[in-house]
A and B are shown apart, each in its own frame.
Chain A
């Protein structure tokens, strides 16, 4: 009996302090954020309760609307681009090629580099090198910097986000492809399945769990995009590439609308939870069907 009590106490002594740490730096600030969202707090000094006014204002604020549109557009396009390219790369890297180890390691490099510095390097490429290339091939649209165009800057952000995330997704797809047993293909060969058909009906259904992981990772990463924006456009030109995280940082931390951006952050939090839960329930249904 003494033994059982000893182990119970040990478990408690481990759990309570660590749980307290988590509550202190995760739950408490979360609750404080929600509380601030009902005030006109500037980040310093006195503040008043304003009820739901911040939330009402959010829905009529074009800047907020734009940042949601941009972030969601980026997340959707970048997720599709990243997954298509990574899947093709993974199929290539999983086939019978020379220098497999080297190629796999090399394609993974972007994943370990810091997004901020990568953003700076690409900013230079988009500002100086691409326009020169555009002039050389006589393209009107490419001859000026994409980053200074309100209609094209977001594409540059997609490129950078995809460039880094492809590395991670490819590796995950490869580990998925390795779980597909060789005899599945042999059976497929006997049935005369080739190329696209083989992929569509044999390979892809077997790696759907990995597809799910990649979708969840991508959408979450891209919705929270910050470093790349900070490095490449600072949200410009004319706020056309202002992501939600960047807007909250810019206005809430530096612009003095702490309370208002807290309301924005609360809405953003709800959006993330809804999307994540929806994604997971859809994919778990799909997996069941198979």
Chain B
């Protein structure tokens, strides 16, 4: 019975789904084609818009890299993303441990838990103006400030995830370690932190995607610092050279390539991470 059901492929749906993929592929196709064309090849007729470039030249990309200072922007984006992910994993799992193990019997920890988790409802719009002032006063209107802010912004979500996961880890494990004379601190690093590995993956994926693509925080915080992240570079580029579409699209593609490579390599982890984060 099972064999028979498995063998029967639903072809109409398969075909429809492949046709539907065009809606995903078309915008990306346009971006690629335009990025390779020269301004002289840009016509207004449909066939002209859709046609492939006459010459697959990388000159647009070279020029876009220079104008947007691509390598520095890429470096900043990588630095901010990696630092935020590492700090989030360490600090948020520690916090999840401390709060999760105590909130059932301590009103203080229960309050801390609810206080931080309810931070999820605070829209960035209400924080951005005071934060722009505050980071400037604290000399944090730079990438270091942006990293700190991200660690704070994603704390509610990640705390929820870590405390949720901790429920499934039996306390007996810690008690056994304690009987053996290990301190709570040591127990966390030797036992709890490694067991939390699946949740670290989820947290890393969600945080990394959100940080990598975020525009608003760097725009508000480091706009005056002369530093760019990759998305922020596109924004400044657009206001300066928005009319040269070939150059602009080369630059957009450059901004998309790193995340697409990352997705192709770890798509399974990414999809699992995103689903876990949302469902829990």
Contact = CB atoms under 8 A, between A and B. Distances in A.
Contacts of B271: 104-105, 108, 171
Interface string A237-275: 000000011001100110000100110011011001100
B208 to A, nearest CB: 10
B131 A121 contact: no
Given A11-B102, A118-B27, A269 B123 contact: yes
A88 B24 CA distance: 16
Contacts of B9: 96-98
Given A29-B131, A32-B130, A253-B220, A168 B256 contact: no
B13 A97 contact: yes
Nearest to A248: B125
A217 B277 CA distance: 12
A128 B43 CA distance: 10
B255 A227 contact: no
Interface string B90-112: 01001101110110000001001
B255 A117 contact: yes
Given A114-B259, A124-B245, A172 B275 contact: yes
A6 B181 CA distance: 12
A196 interface: no
Nearest to B91: A18
Interface stretch (B55-63, B78-86, B149-157, B193-201): B149-157
Contacts of B183: 6-7, 10
A107 interface: yes
A183 B270 CA distance: 30
Contacts of A125: 27, 30
Contacts of A118: 27
A12 B249 CA distance: 51
A92 B27 contact: no
B259 A120 contact: no
Number of chain A interface residues as a range: 35 or more
A201 interface: no
B21 A107 contact: yes
Interface string B48-76: 01000000000000000000000000000
Contacts of A252: 128-129
A54 B267 CA distance: 48
Contact of B279 (A15, A172, A223): A172
Contact of B125 (A43, A107, A112, A265): A265
A241 to B, nearest CB: 16
Interface of B: 5-6, 8-11, 13-14, 16-18, 20-21, 23-24, 27-28, 30-31, 34, 44-46, 49, 91, 94-95, 97-99, 101-102, 109, 112, 116, 119, 121-134, 148-149, 151-153, 155, 178, 183-185, 209, 212-213, 215-216, 220, 230-231, 234-235, 238, 245, 248-249, 252, 255-256, 259-260, 262-263, 267, 270-271, 274-275, 278-279
Given A115-B215, A120-B252, A125-B27, 17 more contacts: A11-B98, A11-B102, A24-B152, A25-B131, A26-B152, A36-B130, A98-B11, A98-B14, A99-B14, A107-B24, A109-B24, A114-B259, A120-B238, A124-B245, A226-B216, A230-B215, A249-B216
28 contacts: A10-B183, A14-B97, A15-B99, A22-B116, A22-B119, A30-B126, A33-B126, A33-B130, A89-B20, A93-B17, A96-B6, A98-B11, A109-B24, A109-B28, A112-B209, A112-B263, A114-B215, A117-B252, A125-B30, A129-B49, A163-B23, A168-B274, A171-B275, A224-B124, A224-B125, A248-B129, A258-B129, A268-B123
